[in-house]
Structure 1
Amino acid sequence: MTHTNIMNELLRVSKTFLAYLKRPDLYPELGRKIIKNTFNRGNAFKGKEKTNSWAASKSISQKEAISQLFEIDMSSFKQDFLEVLRKSEQREISCPVKMGGAGAMELIYFACEFTKAQDAIETGVAYGWSSLAALLSLQKRDGALYSSDMPYLAQDGDQYVGVVVPDDLKKYWKLFRFADKESLPKIFTENQSFDVVHYDSDKSYNGRMWAYEELYKHLRKGGVFISDDIGDNSAYQDFCEKGAINTTVIEFEGKYIGVFVK
């Protein structure tokens, strides 16, 4: 790492720390991050090699997964929402802050269609592509999406979270701007049962295991559980094996997604 890169990284860390200090409501997450980055740094990649081998051996395409799990052909999605997606892409291009990409939108949309979802929950928002996918389905039934997403403290990006979501869909959306360990209890106070779960937040092994168990408890029987980036560590594999859950694995843009029907 060059001297310039080191200085930039120190500046980013300092900026983030100072931003946390201005937000007492985020102090619990600050404490967890300090412990994680000081004592549990290896935790993020626990079992990574094992799970990538496991995932590669059983992965299928998103199209195959949607067909097998939901008995739906996903081909119409982009055409059906062509204008909405085009406008959302322009909002992302115009956004001055870099966040996560679109992900497997068809999987999320058709999970909501398959379950006739009234209530869905997701962790991780960024630009809001996964939120948009869920909301396009939920609006048909006057449903609600509950989202947990940490503030973008180092980027001054809070105002851009969910930027691709059109204004007319926001009335179906409840956004909680805390870490999962604070957001999820608040969400579960409002709603106890969900038709679709989509996990895409804390990438650490411990963070995933805690959230998976909490989210699973609140997923109704017949509901759909989705987790992005399951190859980061073995949390998803271990969770499924512990619960004797028969999961489908999707290879998507060089990464793995886990999905199952409860």
Structure 2
Amino acid sequence: MNEIVRVAKVFLAYIKRPNLYPELSRKIIKNTINRGNAFKGKEKTGLWAASESISQQEAVMKLFGKDATEFRRTFDEVLEKAQKNESECPIKMGGAGALELIYYACEFTHAKNVIETGVAYGWSSLAMLLSLKNREGTLYSSDMPYLDQDGDQYVGYVVPDNLKKSWKLFRFADKESLPKIFEENSTFDVVHYDSDKSYNGRYWAYNELYKHLREGGVFISDDIGDNSAYQDFCEKNNIKTTVVEFEGKYVGVFVK
């Protein structure tokens, strides 16, 4: 799609949704005044993450004492069906992340309440819900509508209907979704961050989510190599984190 046409389409979609006006204002500032902020500290964190990283399988064993390969053996049919759904989806969104890490974080904490930012196809949501179903837990998710693809109805496309009864999806930007979620539930066993990639967006959300993570809970953030927000957050709070290399990117995870 021509970039000018795409931008115009997204802008008009925002105009039609007054509840998204606050995010529209932030996007304009982020893409003009704060444009260079998105990748702040990227080189520094890239070098740090590369020197610290271990594999997902190593991380699952180190943190949770589990063999990560069991996940795909246990849920082979569910994952195969989810992959089929993704391949049939008419729009393109982000692919599956470190599902084993996410699933075993929920198992390790005996999670009843989990929060995530960023849904897309719903791969991380699926991993969490597969664990939560064992304890009748609830997943609270924050995700913006996909305004440039008319893709609202496809968010969470890989999540089977039988798991959706344990899922509450908030369709706003994080700065609007998170306060609404915290009104419903204030303490979480697992946090998974995978939404706003900018330095400021990440750093704000990390602080908010960390306050609502219980002691002994697990904090996971995808794509920490985009900028230094995660590294800076951990250093400021004296957090010893594990860095996981996954498909050429880096995931941060720690137990509070």
Do the two structures share a fold, i.e. TM-score over 0.5?
A: yes
Distance in 2 of aligned mates of 1:165 and 1:69: 27
1:100 equivalent among 84, 89, 94? 94
Separation in structure 1 between the aligned mates of residue 74 and residue 245 of structure 2, nearest angstrom: 24
Q: CA deviation at 1:158?
A: 0.5
Output the CA distance in 1 between the equivalents of 2:125 and 2:32: 33
Q: Distance in 2 between matches of 1:76 and 1:250?
A: 18
More moved, 218-227 vs 72-81: 72-81
Query: Cα offset for 1:75?
Result: 1.2
Tell me, yes or no, if structure 1 residue 245 matches structure 2 residue 239.
Answer: yes
Runs of 4 or more consecutive aligned structure 1 residues displaced over 3 Å after TM superposition: none
Q: Helix, strand or coil for the counterpart of 1:146?
A: strand
Q: CA RMSD in A?
A: 0.6
**1:158 alignment partner in structure 2:** 152
> 2-side partners of 1:74 and 1:90: how far apart?
23
Counterpart CA distance in 2 for 1:92 and 1:68 is 31
Using the size of structure 2 for normalisation, the TM-score is 0.99
1:216-261 residue CA offsets vs partner (Å, 9 max, x unmatched):
0000000000000000000000000000000000000000000000
Alignment partner, residue 48 of structure 1: 42
Q: Which residue of 1 aligns with 2:163?
A: 169
- State the partner residue of 1:208: 202
Q: CA deviation at 1:109?
A: 0.3
Residue 126 of structure 1 corresponds to which residue in structure 2? 120
Quick one: which amino acid aligns to residue 241 of structure 2?
T
- 5 Å-filtered alignment, 1:1-262, equals 8-262=2-256
Deviation of 1:92 (Å): 0.4
* Equivalent position amino acid for 1:213 in 2: N
SS of corresponding position for 1:60: coil
Structure 1 gaps of 5+ residues are none
Letter in 1 for 2:94: G
Percent identity, please: 77
Superimposed CA distance per residue, residues 119-156 of structure 1 (whole angstroms, 9 cap, x where no aligned partner): 00000000000000000000000000000000000100
* In 1, Cα distance between equivalents of 2:35 and 2:71: 40
3-state DSSP class of the match of 1:175? Answer: strand
- Which stretch shifts more, 183-192 or 80-89? 80-89
Question: 1:79: Cα distance to partner?
Answer: 1.1
Query: Could you say what secondary structure the match of 2:133 adopts?
Result: helix
Q: 2: CA distance between counterparts of 1:134 and 1:248?
A: 20
Which AA in structure 1 matches 2:162?
D
1:57-100 residue CA offsets vs partner (Å, 9 max, x unmatched): 11000000010011111111111001111111111010000000
Quote the Cα distance in structure 2 between the aligned partners of 1:35 and 1:75.
44
**1:174: how far off?**
0.2
Q: Distance in 1 between matches of 2:12 and 2:100?
A: 39
Aligned residues: 256
Structure 2 runs not aligned, ≥5 long: none
